[in-house]
A and B are shown apart, each in its own frame.
Chain A
Amino acid sequence: MAPPPQFQRSSSPSPSQPSGKSEISDLKLQLRQLAGSRAPGADDAKRELFKKVISHMTVGVDVSSLFSEMVMCSATSDIVLKKMCYLYVGNYAKGNPDLALLTINFLQRDCRDEDPMIRGLALRSLCSLRVTNLVEYLVGPLGSGLKDPNAYVRTVAAMGVLKLYHISASACVDADFPSMLKRLMLNDPDSQVVANCLSSLQEIWSAEANTSEEAAREREALLSKPLVYHLLNRIKEFNEWAQCLILDLISNYIPSDNDEIFDIMNLLEDRLQHANGAVVLGTIKVFLHLTLSMADVHQQVYERIKAPLLTLMSSGSPEQSYAVLSHLHLLVMRAPVLFSSDYKHFYCQYSEPSYVKKLKLEMLTAIANESNTFEIVTELCEYAANVDVSIAREAIRAVGKIALQQFDVNAIVDRLLQFLEMEKDYVTAETLVLVKDLLRKYPQWSHDCIAVVGNISSKNVQEPKAKSALIWMLGEYSQDMPEAPYILENLVDNWDDEHSSEVRLHLLTAVMKCFFKRPPETQNALGAALAAGLADFRQDVHDRALFYYRLLQYDESTAERVVNPPKQAVSVFADTQSSELKDRIFDEFNSLSVIYQKPSYMFTGKEHRGLTDISEELGNLSVEAHPAAEALPAQIYEANDVDLLLSTSEKEEVRGPVNNSSAYRAPDYDSTTAALVSSQVPLEADLSIPGLPAYNPQVSSAIDDLLGLGLSVAPTPAPPPLALNPKAALDPGSFQRKWSQLAISSSQEFCIEPRAVVALATPQTLLRHMQGHHIQCIASGGQPPSFKFFFYAQRAGQPPSFFLVECLVNSSSARAQVKIKADDGAAAGDFSALFQAALSKFGE
């Protein structure tokens, strides 16, 4: 199926071949002979000739030289001939405006023909000529076309207006066509005419709205109650495509009260049973958007749309399933419980294309919970042996992701270790990366994992990511692996064979860590590694080596604290999109945004974006969209790379100087952090920038932007007066100060109980509830479905230390996002558990 190196450019008219030339002059001659002929059978002969001409045209032979003959021959009443002639003219008019002028005459005449079909065809051809200097000839026929007694002609005319608008906007507006379309849309008995008017008006007014206020008003008027009701009541008369158009319009309509919402939903309920999946999806969009403000109804909608969505996914072509699955994925991110009992629907079939399988794997990952994890992981393990390597990799990653979601970790670790025993390069590679991430989150498993990992020969691991993971583990757990220093030494000896700078960086760090644990055994390797690193031509590697070298020179124990500090287990990996981005995509449900997983402004528009760096774009975007003052975190999202959990010894090093501020100079810190950070983007969001006294806020925000993290700097402005618990008191000013100084010590996202969602109808109850748990609220705000609260609490006893909490609650997806900052980072974990427990009791 490999295409040949050079394609024939058959699409564009190419100079005709010499052999074709004689054929064309032949055709020309024959057409001339037939042009005036009234003989019986002449029309049939002409038809054959016309067909030949059009075949030539299609395969790319330039037959434009026949223009005048074709036009002459088309002076006929035979509709078949006319159609072919229109086709021919439409193809060549744009390139030959002078010739096009020749055709105006007969097209205009045909627009007045008594047969409505000819009128319609002629009008369509006339509008499709796309020649600017012929615009004046269009206005007349279009005007009469809009008033034509025949619906077919009006349908064509309604679209013709839009075509005219694209050729010459001013001519279209000057002729007052938009208002004619509007009248037609409201009064025409034919549904297709109405639909075409609507499409045209939507486009025209959207384009005009930028320059004209009136057009902007008119565009708003398309969403006015009378029009929406007019269309809704007739929706069954429209064909399926027009229904999609109308449903899309209605999804933007804002009803005035709840009764209206229910009326619309009742009216559209049966659309969910329509055979056309596009209509079903359109209806689902309307339902979801209408009920956004009503959490409980929104949940019911999810239940209602489940069955139709599953049907859509399993019927139709793989391409359609793909489109539906993308939407399912979006929905399941908002409401993970939705499909958790239907997980079997997402089992892959052997013959399905990989793009469907990939999405199904993502679905399985997203819906895994306590009750179904075992079955899902069992199924995923089947795929790890799949023929398609990329699917096998995805499956392994999915297993790892589920493990990180905290369900049934025990069993999953066993399975991951079994993967390592399969002894397939790609399986081993993927698994190593996962085991590394697992260990960062669940250090308690180190014993089991290390035993298995220790048996893997580094020679069998080639992929940089996997190799880095292996090296990281060697460094991190060198005390448990007797062979670690020698394996590392061996790797250092082969420094030049290793071409990835990622691996070299990891190797440097691992050797350092190993050195602190087992100095005599590692000393040689360390020396060799530092020497190799200093000689490295890669700036990152060189700088890192130099940095370590100087650290060691300065003070060995400081160096250890920097390179190998005691670590906290990672609670949440930053592999999620910002909630704002997600909401925007949800707003554009049933469109390409969902497929690309980014809002439309990022991929439409004039400037032609390259295919490549999506992540780069996103990175820039998050800097633009979230100035440092904004409290929302913007996290880097990378569309295709599921595995965002980056290799990360840097992180720990950055985190190193916690509790260690005095021995450390801020300028050093700044420059090294910046260097390290620049070496590897993206980093994780749980990266904790230590609260150094000499910490410079400007630097911090610069780093934030660099990372695309936008660590919260200021809470919501003007906090309301606070009710203080005698046990803890903090004024808004100090809160604000503390908030901007401290780093996030814990960040979590979890589900909240449905009853809590119900109770959130009055957010004040949450404040009182938390007060009961000695957690004070300092500021709160937000509109349903998303609320934001800032809490604080103070530890009783000595030394007094504050905990600050930012809590985002989304009542429609029933999720809460909690970020905790603490004076004493070590206690943050306990406090987080306390806070979560308090929140989970809410609504009881």
Chain B
Amino acid sequence: MPVAASAIYFLNLRGDVLINRLYRDDVGGNMVDAFRMHIMQTKELGTCPVRQIGGCSFFYMRISNVYLVIVVSSNANVACAFKFVVEAVALFKSYFGGQFDEDSIRNNFVLIYELLDEIMDFGYPQNLSPEILKLYITQEGVRSPFSSKPTDKPVPNATLQVTGAVGWRREGLVYKKNEVFLDIVESVNLLMSSKGSVLRCDVTGKILMKCFLSGMPDLKLGLNDKVGLEKESQLKSRPAKSGKTIELDDVTFHQCVNLTRFNSEKTVSFVPPDGEFELMKYRITEGVNLPFRVLPTIKELGRTRMEVNVKVKSVFGAKMFALGVVVKVPVPKQTAKTSFQVTSGRAKYNAALNCIVWKIRKFPGQTESTMSAEVELISTMAEKKSSTKPPIQMEFQVPMFTASGLRVRFLKVWEKSGYNTVEWVRYITKAGSYEIRC
């Protein structure tokens, strides 16, 4: 039994029910009280996302200032339930203009009821595809005034049938200008030891697409991944071109991708949904190019003084640059005073986070930047210095750079009417969890 949710609750941080939907009668109405009493009011909160209370199990997730709670009384499929919540939140966000919080829920009661009824019936997940839901949802989301105006709402028309074969795309779409946007977004995770050796490093990437194409187009995407290139050279019976090939550890695709063809020909071919979607996700552990090197030196000068030096080197191409670079250098709790010198950007001591936050708006490639800080500590009674040292954490975005080296070789669009399309390809690498121990 995949989910068979008995009820779904939206609670705010105080534990008040914002909105709820009871799908089945097999749990009492007081279940939410049990949740508040046994989880929200105790230290349990946040220690485990699945809890059993009485005969019921609770799955809960916090999204901004809202708790989403699913109650089940059977032996439910946990992965499915969480995936459902994640997808549902994404759906709500798309209706609320990217926001999902207490206010946007309070403003959209009717819409949420409508959505909850369509995406789940009697506890079984139904259809969460936004494209199909457009046919059934009558309410328009109330968006925050800052988000962009929604595009024209399609006229609800339930007679418009979506065929089983291409459930994610409607027939008869027409665009004046046929355009495809493709973004490769990679997040690079690093864990470096205090001695400077890489303990763990990998890249999780996703390919996001935005399609504004008429009719029922067939798309074919070629990447410089190893398996695909080898297969191609095999098919064309000529040796593979030299150059960097990327070995993907694992790939998952949007349901629109023809997986049979991927497995036989190793090409990604698909009929895309209209608008925005995530085409594929991949994971790479070998041959990752780290965009930044961080070299920290921390010296303790007596019991109340510390000297922190952090050097950051950018190791991507000189023509590129990183944006929004943030380096968080942890300092002890009993920090009293800090003074800095930076070669670029600005540094600040953030007492709430117990760290020095060093921000550099634009960081060109093949350069380095240093921050040296002097930290004065309050002398405390505790004889031992605290030995808990959180790692240095980094945030950044590097446009036109992929840490994995993945590149799009071609993106072909084929439609029976034979129109021309404009294709846009972008790359960006972000920091996932980029941690350097010190």
Contact = CB atoms under 8 A, between A and B. Distances in A.
B82 A354 contact: no
A422 B32 CA distance: 44
B407 interface: no
Given A248-B2, A320-B83, A609-B55, A315 B204 contact: yes
A277 B139 CA distance: 30
Nearest to A11: B17
Given A11-B17, A130-B25, A350-B435, A308 B250 contact: yes
Contacts of B59: 319
A241 B15 contact: no
A698 interface: no
A281 B83 CA distance: 12
Contacts of B259: 236, 270-271, 273-274
B324 interface: no
Given A307-B250, A322-B50, A196 B121 contact: yes
Contacts of B158: 115-117, 120, 150, 152
Contacts of B138: 79-80, 83
Interface string B380-404: 0000100111110100000000000
B79 A609 contact: no
B50 A592 contact: yes
A605 to B, nearest CB: 7
B1 A248 contact: yes
A318 interface: yes
A271 B79 CA distance: 15
B196 interface: no
B49 interface: yes
Interface string B394-428: 00000000000000000000000000000000000
Interface stretch (A158-166, A451-459, A677-685): A158-166
Interface in A356-401: 379, 382, 385-387
A609 B54 contact: yes
Interface string B31-73: 0110010101100011111101111010101000000000011
A202 B1 contact: yes
Interface stretch (B161-169, B294-302, B335-343, B361-369): B161-169
A609 B280 CA distance: 43
B55 A605 contact: yes
A596 interface: yes
Given A307-B250, A314-B202, A12 B79 contact: no
Given A275-B254, A319-B82, A385-B389, A592 B76 contact: yes
Given A159-B124, A199-B124, A237-B165, A311 B388 contact: no
Interface string A181-196: 0000000011110001
A588 interface: yes
B292 interface: no
Contact of B24 (A8, A120, A166, A320): A166
A462 interface: no
B74 interface: yes
Interface size class of A (residues with CB under 8 A): 35 or more
A274 B164 CA distance: 18
Contact of B78 (A269, A591, A608): A591
A323 B82 contact: yes
B84 interface: yes
A447 B79 CA distance: 49
Contacts of A494: none
Contacts of B178: none
A10 B17 contact: yes
A386 B125 CA distance: 40
A349 B199 CA distance: 11
A345 interface: yes
21 contacts: A7-B33, A87-B110, A87-B114, A87-B117, A116-B159, A237-B164, A241-B127, A270-B259, A274-B259, A308-B252, A317-B82, A319-B82, A327-B79, A349-B189, A349-B191, A355-B48, A379-B199, A592-B57, A592-B76, A604-B74, A609-B54
Interface of B: 1-4, 9, 13-20, 24-25, 29, 32-33, 36, 38, 40-41, 45-50, 52-55, 57, 59, 61, 72-80, 82-86, 109-110, 113-114, 117, 121-122, 124-129, 136, 138-139, 156, 158-159, 161, 164-165, 167, 189, 191, 199-200, 202, 204, 249-255, 259-260, 262-263, 278, 280-281, 283, 384, 387-391, 393, 433, 435, 437
The 7 closest A-B CB pairs, nearest first, are A270-B259, A117-B158, A278-B80, A241-B125, A600-B75, A307-B250, A608-B54
